[in-house]
Amino acid sequence: MALAGVLAQDRPSADAKLETDAVCTLGQTDAGYRITTMQPTGRGEVEGIGEDEFESAAQQAKEGCPVSNALGGVEISMEASLA
């Protein structure tokens, strides 16, 4: 969980609860069926953090996420919000 890692880096002692899920779209390509889009959603409760800071952390996590990097040819749109 890249988002948990980013939040822990900035706020190592903060209490946090994170829920994530993702929806992917499969599409037919010249190479066969492939994942064409990925839409992860993150919701969290993080002590002492505002919505803008949480969204910024989520975007930072998206950019550095090993899974996002492995899916380099896939359109990824991240949605994040505080509970």
Please, what's the b/e burial string for 20-31 (b: 16 or more CB within 10 A of its CB; e: otherwise)? beeeeeeeeeee
> Range of 70's domain?
2-82
pLDDT in tens, 54-65: 999 999 988 888
Domain count for the chain? 1
The 3-state DSSP class for residue 2 equals helix
Q: What confidence score (pLDDT) does residue 31 get?
A: 87
Residue 82: phi, psi to the nearest 5?
-85, 145
- What residues in the chain have per-residue pLDDT under 70? 1, 14
DSSP calls for 4-73? HHHHHHH-TT--EEEEEEEEEEEEEETTEEEEEEEEEEEEEEETT--HHHHHHHHHHHHHH-HHHHHTTT
Q: What is the pLDDT of residue 32?
A: 92
pTM over 0.85: no
Query: Which pLDDT score, from 0 to 100, does residue 4 have?
Result: 87
Q: What is the CATH number of the domain that holds 63?
A: 3.30.300.20
Residue type, 60: Q
pLDDT at position 29, please?
87
Q: How many residues does the chain have?
A: 83
So what's the pLDDT on residue 27? 93
